[in-house]
């Protein structure tokens, strides 16, 4: 960012026409009253609160300019600029057609999986006349929240309705005319760029009824074969939605840190929470290399078992990547040697799976450097529910671990902002751009 906003405010406050960048503040009689007045003007014009220590640590506007190159205002500008490119990222990743085309076919497929599962469990929606009472089947207690969610989906799609808040009835809205198996084959052909996402769905959804009553183990379905593990890794690393969001986040990082390449020799410290399969890691590392700044990257997850693939990948490269076990939701907070160390912390599709978003975000905030005004947290998270996720990840206990007042694992923007502010962040911004009239999902969230 330009230091001009501070320069103009300081000129007004001490009543001079201009100030050279290298003029010491001491020669301008800049006292505490002037500092607070300048900061108040800057906050009024930008909406950003800067600490008074900014003037204590800087001797002139030139110093201030260097410090502000990673300031809060720079973060806001970078977030806005990367948001303006979401159409380009969507086109490159193949998600431009998701909302106008893929989503509707996906909804039909999910509905077919749900009603076929309910029929297997003695709830045959396909032969129920309109007005018939719908009695939910009995399922394993661990899957009751998922069953409730499945019925919420059917209500949202108009297939059943709630009467007097105490029972459900079938409506006149028809079910999909084709079976789930046929719709699955059709969606693979019609939307090949999303094929692996739908193959992942097909691992669990045909066994939905068996999973709900305990006759099938969803963990084994997803993780018990090389095919399942490969499809999960593909979803987190190469699925079009994941790639578009990762490209946007990488653009943000490059925009934030590139201005520092002429002004710092100290490494920029970055930490990734829940790095998992490393799907976002490569994008961010490439962005930091492109920015031309020295950096150190800390790859973390809740278990060292996630490190094997990443270690093998980066062992033969000269990337400065280290590995740490980190549980971001522990009440005790992060280890002391990680606290207050990082210029930026990022996480992709991880924090939503923690019990309390505010607690996890507060722990992430404790990792950030308190002496850097622009130290920030950047997240990639779903902020709008997508039905198929419930038929895959909703079968796992982690999807329902939340205890922070959410009604669903996927929280909306309002809940995210509330949680991040509660965690101590003063500013929270979401992706501003649209693709075919809809916001990207997952989207990039930035807090500082």
Indicate if the pLDDT at residue 447 is higher than 80. yes
Mean pLDDT across the stretch 101-124? 97
Is the pLDDT score of 355 beyond 60?
Answer: yes
In this prediction, residue 73 carries a pLDDT of 59
Q: Are 336 and 314 in contact (CB under 8 A)?
A: no
Query: For residues 333 and 364, what is the distance between their CA atoms, to the nearest angstrom?
Result: 9
Residue 70: per-residue pLDDT: 54
Mean pLDDT to the nearest integer, 281-303 = 96
pLDDT at 371: 77
Place of tokens 């409730």: 148
**pLDDT for residue 66 is more than 80:** no
Which tens digits make up the pLDDT trace of 152-189? Answer: 999 999 999 999 878 999 999 999 999 999 999 999 99
Question: pLDDT for 198-256, tens place per residue?
Answer: 999 999 999 999 999 999 999 999 999 999 999 999 999 899 999 999 999 999 999 99
Q: CB within 8 A of 409, min separation 6: which ones?
A: 352, 353, 393, 394, 399, 400, 402
Which tens digit of pLDDT belongs to each residue from 295-323?
999 999 999 998 988 888 888 788 999 99
Residue 47 has pLDDT above 70, yes or no: no
pTM of the prediction? 0.85
What is the pLDDT at residue 2? 65
Stretch 23-36: mean pLDDT = 93
In the chain, the percentage of residues whose pLDDT exceeds 90 is 82
CA dist., res. 40 & res. 76, Å (int): 18
Contact 41, 10 (CB under 8 A): no
Catalogue all structural domains in the chain, each as residue range(s) with its CATH number: 4-68 (1.10.1200.10), 95-237 (no CATH), 241-447 (3.40.50.150)
CA–CA separation, 310 and 278 (whole Å): 7
Mean pLDDT of the region 65-82: 77
Of 123-127, 157-161, 219-223, 432-436, the least confident: 432-436
pLDDT above 80 (res 345): yes
Q: Which of 42-46, 231-235, 395-399 has the lowest mean pLDDT?
A: 42-46
């Amino acid at each position: 960012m330009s230091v001009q906003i501070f320069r103009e405010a300081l000129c007004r406050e001490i009543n001079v026409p201009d100030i050279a960048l290298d003029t010491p503040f001491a020669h301008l009689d800049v006292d505490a009253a002037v500092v607070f007045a300048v900061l108040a003007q800057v906050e009024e014009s930008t909406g950003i609160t800067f600490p008074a220590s900014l003037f204590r640590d800087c001797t002139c506007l030139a110093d201030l300019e260097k410090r502000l190159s990673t300031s809060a205002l720079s973060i806001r500008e970078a977030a806005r600029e990367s948001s303006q490119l979401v159409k380009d990222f969507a086109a490159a990743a193949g998600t431009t057609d998701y909302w106008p085309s893929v989503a509707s076919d996906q909804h039909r497929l999910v509905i077919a999986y749900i009603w076929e599962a309910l029929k297997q469990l003695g709830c045959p929606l396909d032969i129920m006349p309109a007005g018939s009472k719908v009695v939910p089947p009995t399922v394993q207690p661990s899957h009751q929240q998922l069953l409730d969610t499945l019925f919420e989906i059917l209500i949202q799609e108009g297939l059943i309705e709630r009467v007097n808040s105490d029972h459900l009835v079938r409506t006149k809205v028809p079910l999909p005319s084709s079976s789930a198996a046929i719709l699955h084959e059709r969606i693979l052909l019609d939307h090949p760029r999303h094929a692996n996402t739908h193959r992942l769905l097909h691992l669990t959804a045909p066994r939905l009824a068996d999973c709900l009553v305990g006759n099938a183990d969803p963990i084994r379905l997803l993780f018990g074969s090389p095919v399942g593990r490969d499809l999960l890794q593909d979803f987190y690393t190469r699925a079009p939605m994941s790639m578009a969001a990762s490209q946007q986040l990488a653009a943000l990082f490059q925009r934030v840190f590139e201005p520092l390449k002429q002004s710092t020799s100290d490494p920029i410290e970055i930490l990734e929470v829940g790095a998992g399969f490393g799907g976002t890691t490569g994008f961010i590392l490439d962005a930091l290399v492109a920015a031309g700044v020295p950096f150190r990257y800390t790859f973390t997850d809740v278990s060292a078992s996630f490190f094997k693939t990443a270690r093998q990948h980066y062992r033969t490269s000269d990337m400065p990547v280290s590995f740490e076990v980190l549980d971001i939701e522990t009440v005790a907070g992060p280890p002391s040697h990680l606290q207050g160390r990082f210029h930026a912390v990022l996480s992709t599709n991880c924090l939503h799976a923690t019990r309390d978003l505010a607690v996890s975000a507060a722990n992430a905030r404790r990792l950030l450097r308190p002496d850097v005004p622009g130290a920030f947290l950047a997240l990639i998270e779903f902020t709008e529910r997508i039905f198929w996720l419930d038929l895959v990840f909703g079968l796992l206990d982690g999807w329902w671990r939340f205890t922070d007042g959410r009604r669903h694992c996927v929280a909306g923007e309002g809940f995210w902002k509330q949680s991040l502010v509660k965690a101590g962040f003063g500013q929270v911004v979401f992706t501003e751009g649209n693709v075919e009239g809809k916001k990207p999902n997952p989207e990039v969230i930035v807090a500082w």
